[in-house]
Amino acid sequence: MSKKIVYALVLLAALVAPFVGYPVFLMKLLCFGLFACAFNLLIGYAGLLSFGHAAFFGGAGYVAGYALATLGLPFELGILLGVLAAALLGLVMGALAIRRQGIYFAMITLALAQMVYFSALRAPFTHGEDGLQGIPRGRLLGSFDLGSDLTLYYVVLAITAAGFALIVRTIHSPFGQVLRAIKENEPRAISLGYDVDRYKLLAFVLSAALAGLAGALKAVVLGFETLTDVHWTMSGLVILMTLVGGMGTLAGPILGAFLVVALENKLGDLGNFLAGATHVEWFASLGESVGIVTGLIFVASVLLFRRGIVGELAHAYSRRRA
């Protein structure tokens, strides 16, 4: 089955999904799927492990929420301001971090992201621990009321699909090929005359902007923005999504995001069902043990699916064809 047929089937399923599922939950899945894809662009194709992507995700959510709720800007400008803020923040963080490699790069991004977290905690426009509440959805192009979950779903789906298409185009462009070369053998890329730091910085800014797009959309969908989105645990969560689904694959981060978010939202319901079916009260506490369960999934993925779910399936398929 060709990739075009697969993409067409996935798009068809996405178009009919809001008629069989809860649109707000589906929009949350789309936002986190785009977030994971943005992170995968950096780690899967440029080889840069960032522990600070929560700063772009949550920072854009705060900027977009403030623009919509306080400044009264239209939907398009609010989202655009969030993306620009994330890209600018990515430019600053990337310029400071890309000159280091490995664990040093990761620790620098983590430290800078924590500075963003404490700024969000203290800044007056973020309302500290209370967060931004009552973020309006507004109207698209002044005509389409986004107060309808169904209308907003298709808008979020279109924006997410455009972001994913941009990632695919970037990966298959000459720029993406240079990123692969840098990941595989950076000294050789330098010897060929490529300005490695410039390519890394561009990849970092693009990844930050797409992560900001996901964060801004999530703030509009849910109608609020809290410190959870800028906390370091959010950076860890997107790493988990990418590794579970398959780092360096196109569909892997989306699948990983869907699995992790669905697990977080449905684990309590599953625990109550198992407790009622087996009469074992311990299952009822599963909803309070999301961190433990996701940690176990991470360990199992590292030990059993080192390429991630999609990566292992693709590897098995290629071996079978060979």
Distance CA 59, CA 36 (A): 16
Q: What is the pLDDT of residue 206?
A: 94
What residue spans define the domains of the chain? 21-321
pLDDT of residue 13: 83
Copy the structure tokens of residue 206: 């693009």
Give tens-digit pLDDT for 225-266: 888 889 888 888 898 888 888 888 888 888 888 888 887 776
| Closest by Cα among 247, 250, 241 to 171 | 250
In single-letter form, the type of residue at position 150 comes to L
CATH class of 21-321: mainly alpha
What does pTM read for this prediction? 0.88
Q: What is the pLDDT of residue 70?
A: 86
Distance, in Å, from the CA atom of 60 to the CA atom of 79, rounded to the nearest integer, reads 8
Nearest to residue 113, comparing CAs of 133, 134, 136, 96? 96
Q: What is the pLDDT of residues 196-220, one digit of tens each?
A: 889 999 999 999 999 999 999 999 9
Specify the pLDDT at position 128. Answer: 79
Looking at residue 288, what is its pLDDT?
A: 56
Looking at per-residue pLDDT, the higher value among 29 and 275 belongs to: 29
- The pLDDT tens digits for 119-171 are 888 888 888 788 888 888 877 877 777 888 888 899 999 999 999 999 999 99
Q: How confident is the model at residue 273 (pLDDT cuts 50, 70, 90)?
A: low
Instruction: Report pLDDT for 259.
Output: 84
Name the CA dihedral angle for 197, 201, 204, 208, rounded to a multiple of 10 degrees: 170
Higher pLDDT, 295 or 269: 295
Tokens of 202: 């561009």
Element (H, E) at 139: strand 139-140
Task: Calculate the alpha carbon distances from 146 to 66, 152, 154, 205 in Å.
Answer: 18, 5, 10, 29
Averaged over 18-23, what is the pLDDT?
Answer: 83
Q: How far apart are CA 133 and CA 278, in angstroms?
A: 40
- Percent of residues, the chain, with pLDDT higher than 70: 89
Does the structure show a pLDDT above 70 at 283? no
Q: How many helices (H) and strands (E) does the chain have?
A: 13, 4
